[in-house]
Amino acid sequence: MRYISTRGDAPVLSFEDAMLTGLARDGGLYVPETVPTMSKAEIAALAGLSYEEIAFRVMRPFVGDTFTDEEFKEIIAKAYAGFGHDARAPLVQLGPNHFLLELFHGPTLAFKDFAMQLIGQLFQVALSRRGEKVTIVGATSGDTGSAAIEAFKGLDAVDVFILFPHGRVSEVQRRQMTTPSESNVHALAMDGDFDDCQARLKDMFNDFDFRDGVKLAGVNSINWARVLAQVVYYFSSAVSLGAPDRKISFTVPTGNFGDIFAGYIAKKMGLPIDQLVIATNQNDILHRTMETGAYTKAGVTPSISPSMDIQVSSNFERALFDAYGRDGKAVAGQMDDLKDGGFSISQGAMEFLKEQFTSGRASEDETMAQIKASFATTGEVLCPHSAIGVKVANEHLGNSPMVTLATAHPAKFPAAVKDACGEDAPLPPRMADLFDRDERVTRVANDLEALKSLILERTGKATPA
């Protein structure tokens, strides 16, 4: 299994190298050269299996010879052992033909644990075999950072630095990043918004001297291994609702397009998916793009669903790559235009995207109203991100069962939940002391050189002046 860049001008890599590299050296994202498919019988055979066994069967073909079957099974077992629910990704019913896929039973209470816990184990096995140490730098709008810190803390082959926008993450999110005491963990509160954090991260990856000097590795949702981990729960949920004999629809609260792109991969692998619905908050670049064909940046307006406060949606590049018939030059051209504010998608590419995805948005008021309505009619307490999903899903209900992805536990966003429902959403008991733990964080400016110096110094790679 070989991985190629969406911009067509970077080395072709194995699964292991694509995973350890993150962003391709031409600025593109790695995708499999060909997507393996599963037959109807193979999909049907997943029914009734454990989440771990489904994960093994779905992901195995993508991994190639990077791990033996035994190694890969053990990695998967360790990744999901810390989840607070035996089903890992349980489904609950919201209404006739509408189901909620609860993806928040991992250690940091958001769906990103599914990918990050797996990546932690994958990195550990691959790096200890190579006798190497890497520096992980990630940018987060809140949930990625805590999930990465939880997955990598205490691993001696890894230093982990997480950039988050100062003052723009919830208190629970911040505390999950700043309270781990392991010395390989570095939480950095940066001036600016999430896009600034992501931009500085990309700058570091594009500085090859720095990148090679600290052995930079990326675990943002651009990392292929993360997308892959997320493909699994599309299969597990669809099969328990009658796939492959029935088509299933999914609505996905979307920011960086990683989670919904995993659904697209599941479909390409042969899972019968009817609709794949993109749900955005008021920062609706993806919804506008689907409506108008123009991908145009607009400033980010902070919302009550901060993990979706994004104006440049990194993984969308992977969808564009397929929409342009896998023409890396065409993608590179569009990404160049993005630096000047945006680009128009060709008619042919737009037709492709419209065949694969539909979209909707929810305003702040609509999000609050949905949290309230869901609580009143089902007793289900939704986080704001999941509420956006449910609101948009309700507008797309049809003949096939609809699965809305619940991306975070309501206790991660207590203020919005309390406002909407009038009740507190308590943290699960295993996290109840989060507000009593000591915090450790470094304030940093939105300044590439300063960030690089700090990382060089903390990793012991600084050359004396």
Ligand X SMILES: *Cc1c(COP(=O)(O)O)cnc(C)c1O
Residue with the two structure tokens 């996290």: 431
Instruction: Give residues in contact with ligand X (CB under 6 A).
Output: 110, 112, 143, 221, 253-259, 307-308, 385, 407-408
Amino acid at 106: G
Give whole-number Cα distances, 35 to 21, 265, 308, in Å. 20, 8, 28
DSSP 1: -
For ligand X, the closer CB: 169 or 455: 169
CB closer to ligand X, 221 vs 303:
221
The minimum distance between CB 412 and ligand X, in angstroms, equals 7
Residue number with CB closer to ligand X (127 or 225) = 225
CB closer to ligand X out of 244 and 255: 255
Strand runs (DSSP E) across 20-175, as ranges? 30-32, 91-95, 98-102, 134-139, 158-165
C-alpha 259, offset from chain centre: 5
Beta strands at 216-217 and 185-190: parallel, antiparallel or unpaired: unpaired
Q: What are phi and psi of 148, to 5 degrees?
A: -70, -45
Please answer whether residues 192 and 203 qualify as being in contact, where contact means their C-beta atoms are separated by less than 8 angstroms.
no
> Roughly what angle, to the nearest 10 degrees, separates helices 258-268 and 316-323?
40
Q: Which two tokens stand for residue 142?
A: 């809140």
Question: What burial letters (b/e) apply to 345-360, b meaning 16+ CB within 10 Å?
Answer: beeebbebbeebbbbb
Strand ranges, E, within 196-319: 216-217, 248-253, 273-280, 294-296
Q: How far apart are CA 125 and CA 127, in angstroms?
A: 6
Six token digits for residue 120: 């932690």
Q: Which C-beta is closer to ligand X: that of 318 or that of 458?
A: 318
Tell me the closest approach of the beta carbon of residue 318 to ligand X, in angstroms. Answer: 12
**CA angle, residues 378, 382, 387, in degrees to nearest 5:** 100
CB of 315 to ligand X, least distance (A): 7
Q: Minimum CB separation from ligand X for residue 385, in Å?
A: 4
Task: State how far Cα 336 lies from the chain centre.
Answer: 24
Q: How far is the CB of 124 from ligand X (least distance, A)?
A: 23
Q: CB 226 → ligand X: shortest distance, Å?
A: 8
- Residue closer to ligand X by CB (options 67, 152) is 152
Question: How far is residue 155's CA from residue 136's CA, in Å, rounded to a whole number?
Answer: 12
Contact (Cβ atoms closer than 8 angstroms) between residue 443 and residue 166: yes
Instruction: Pick the closer one to ligand X by CB: 254 or 370.
Output: 254
CB of 242 to ligand X, least distance (A): 26
* Distance in angstroms between the alpha carbons of the first and the last residue of the chain: 45
CA 58 to chain centroid:
18
Bridge pairing between strands 98-102 and 91-95: antiparallel
- Rounded Cα–Cα distance for residues 3 and 146 (Å): 28
CB of 455 to ligand X, least distance (A): 24
In the residue annotation, 412 being an active-site residue is answered as no
Residue whose CB is less far from ligand X, 184 or 256: 256
**The two three-digit tokens of residue 134, written as one number:** 């890497």
Active-site residue, from 73, 112, 153, 268: 112
**Which residues are the active-site residues?**
112
